Structure 1
């Protein structure tokens, strides 16, 4: 089997991947496909791009994976989700590399593929691709993920464990982020929080002179010495059990000498599950020789992380080792660190929360029901101390109350810039919609909170098609009432203002087109909370 072209034509003939009747009704361009409705008011539109030339996954290197990341970057500002079809043999490596190459990722990126090609009678390709499209089209999971056999994994936590079965991948030290069955279950408490609110950064200067050395009983020191020679810059060393290895003086001396001349060595266990610890003397000896503990990282993730850290400019050797020992993209579970908790005595709300905390063990169910509403109240009033504790206590960082409102909604409505900043730093969903379909950005626009609007826009907030329409109507009303000056300029929240001559009214327009990127191919989706793709840009056509 070799990579083949023409996937779009194959998908167009499969009703599960393309609704031709709806595409004709919408006047979609030839390169755009549309799935059947995922729900009464939700569809996923996508286009297919095949790389030139197609990549065989067995021949791929960091260079090709960086190229994929750069294609994603070139489309990032316009589209909301990305699905990359990739060969399974090196998919775990690809997912790990992309997770480090893409910094400040705030949109869903899913890698998927198949053990048996999609054109075969009995295959897993159709199910995997459809699941990836639906997940990326309907949910915001700001990570590089891998979808296979009805499970969505964190990309840098997976490894391939079977060459033939459809359940080819597993995530040995982290449960799946989502599972697809009769319903879709998202484990929101596991989804990485957005760690930065800046623009997407693609790190193209990855160090390629890194290697993987697997220790075995009796491994000669001379072999280790040869492996650690220049141009090698970093090594992932697979050890026994919880990070143990031979403690022969000559072998330890080779490791120590390599570390002293600047070679970085990460100690990872070759076991599928578990982590590197310092429970045994052999592990302590390796640590004393200058190795960096890899905790529970997979070898694929450790190689990708090593390449990323060594490629960062301006860092000292100690600085690189410090980064390697930290969790950067959810790739490992470092030892828990005790952090001081605020006293909560600075406000009436805080003191009430402190009192409730003392009763929590007696009323867990009541507490779980109260946390979202209390967090919204703290965000609305700007009580940052209470808000910090409540967000930490919530099992789901979105903390929706009975109306579907999150603390970010409450803070945006009230113009609490400090609370908005804290919540964004903790990685809450900036485009969350409440049960009324309102986003934090629309609430901030309605409240004329310019500072909050700027914070939300910088974090990637955008208005849905319905919100754009409602905002345009409101802008026209404000203009007629003479209160136009109180509304922030359209540029502030990133849309264009135009006048329709045929209606003599203002309206707001947003770029709702689609494009694509990928390895063999990939898909860029229009998800965003139930929003359908508009029809062709004819002035009198309504959005389907």
Structure 2
């Protein structure tokens, strides 16, 4: 029987209703008591790492999860983290960079309704997570939700209320959990030894373009950022209003000052390709900026936090960004 560590961090799955709305207050031990069947498939130990709404989760919390897994890595065969859904995809992406080459599975899950309610998805999500984490072929960082096993770097919350809250963006789901068995579509072979990292640079910001945006906003955000991710329209680019190219000029100035600029897209699927149109081709030719292609916003942010905690050298950042980790980028 495998030994699994449950790491509870709060979220809706652990919430109870109060006068001010749902508040995480159910402990890790209580969570396990709602699903006694888990004890039949593994030897489980529970840790209450924190008990917070996932909107309050920060990179410090991701570091704490990483440190907890590192401290217990040799004691357990796998790990299940219960987490709020709002920033769950960010946490999964962050752990994919902070814990690399893990032959032991690390599963994140949560729910759209609290585990203490009758009509909840929590008990199924938790049971599915333990079924997957106990499977002999399971490894790496994944989200298990609504019976789907999603690569940590490819997940995104796409629905605010429905039980099928998460999708795998531009990459197949890894497996499904059906009739208490794991049915694989993709089997990953992990090579090398597990590697843990303990630093993230939080000075990574996103600016979402809106039609007619004031170029001064780009300059302001860029001046206070080590990394500025510009989330543009369609396949990407910078608008050239009235032929003045003011956004491009601001971007050039920021790059000269050492700000790392990354071009992304606000479109949920299929990614960027900034060379298609003139508004992007000019940027690519003049600045040769990093672009995200089909990476998710969550993995883009977390990967850049991880990279720039190690180096701010633009060439090294670009090289590391385009190095695929856990299927995060394809171009």
Q: Same fold (TM over 0.5)?
A: yes
Contact 2:131 2:182 in 1 (8 A): no
State the SS of the aligned residue for 1:156.
coil
In 2, the alpha carbon distance for the partners of 1:14 and 1:325 equals 42
Q: Offset of 1:172 from its aligned partner?
A: 2.1
Which runs of structure 2 are paired with 1:278-289 in the superposition (5 Å)?
A: 278-287=275-284, 288-289=286-287
Which runs of structure 2 are paired with 1:216-365 in the superposition (5 Å)?
A: 216-230=210-224, 232-248=225-241, 249-277=245-273, 278-287=275-284, 288-313=286-311, 316-334=313-331
Q: Does 1:139 align with 2:136?
A: yes
Structure 2 residue aligned with 1:56: 53
Q: Offset of 1:330 from its aligned partner?
A: 1.5
Contact 1:253 1:289 in 2 (8 A): no
**1:128-180 superposed Cα distances (whole Å, 9 cap, x missing partner):** 00000010012333321001101000111111111111111111201100112
State the SS of the aligned residue for 1:82.
strand
State the SS of the aligned residue for 1:141.
coil
Structure 2 residue aligned with 1:76: 73
**Which of 1 and 2 has higher RCO (CA within 8 Å, sep 6+)?**
1
State the SS of the aligned residue for 1:50.
strand
In 1, the alpha carbon distance for the partners of 2:301 and 2:57 equals 15
The structure carrying a bigger helix percent of its residues is 1
Which runs of structure 2 are paired with 1:485-500 in the superposition (5 Å)?
A: none
Contact 1:247 1:285 in 2 (8 A): no
Structure 2 residue aligned with 1:352: none
Shift in alpha-carbon separation, 1:131–1:206, aligned structure 2, 3 A? same
Structure 2 residue aligned with 1:215: 209
Q: Offset of 1:13 from its aligned partner?
A: 5.7
Structure 1 residue aligned with 2:155: 158
State the SS of the aligned residue for 1:145.
strand
Contact 1:5 1:50 in 2 (8 A): no
Q: Offset of 1:289 from its aligned partner?
A: 2.8
Deviates further, 320-329 or 172-181: 320-329
Q: Offset of 1:10 from its aligned partner?
A: 4.9
Deviates further, 136-145 or 249-258: 136-145
Once superposed, which parts of structure 1, at least 4 consecutive aligned residues long, lie more than 6 Å away? none
Q: Does 1:101 align with 2:98?
A: yes
In 2, the alpha carbon distance for the partners of 1:280 and 1:139 equals 48
Q: Offset of 1:15 from its aligned partner?
A: 4.0
Shift in alpha-carbon separation, 1:256–1:85, aligned structure 2, 3 A? same
In 1, the alpha carbon distance for the partners of 2:34 and 2:190 equals 38
Structure 1 residue aligned with 2:118: 121
Contact 2:107 2:133 in 1 (8 A): yes
Shift in alpha-carbon separation, 1:54–1:281, aligned structure 2, 3 A? same
Q: Offset of 1:55 from its aligned partner?
A: 2.9
Provide structure 2 residue ranges, at least 5 long, that are not aligned to the other structure.
1-21
User: What TM-score comes out, normalization by structure 1 length?
Assistant: 0.54
Shift in alpha-carbon separation, 1:228–1:290, aligned structure 2, 3 A? farther
Q: Offset of 1:108 from its aligned partner?
A: 0.6
State the SS of the aligned residue for 2:37.
coil
Instruction: Work out the number of aligned pairs and report it.
Output: 304
Q: Please provide the CA RMSD for this pair.
A: 1.7
Q: Offset of 1:14 from its aligned partner?
A: 4.3
Shift in alpha-carbon separation, 1:226–1:10, aligned structure 2, 3 A? closer
State the SS of the aligned residue for 1:121.
coil
Contact 1:44 1:134 in 2 (8 A): no
In 1, the alpha carbon distance for the partners of 2:136 and 2:255 equals 44
In 2, the alpha carbon distance for the partners of 1:176 and 1:267 equals 26
The structure carrying a bigger strand percent of its residues is 2
Provide structure 1 residue ranges, at least 5 long, that are not aligned to the other structure.
18-33, 36-42, 335-544
Shift in alpha-carbon separation, 1:160–1:107, aligned structure 2, 3 A? same
Structure 2 residue aligned with 1:176: 173
Return the index of the structure with the highest Cα Rg: 1
Contact 1:237 1:267 in 2 (8 A): yes
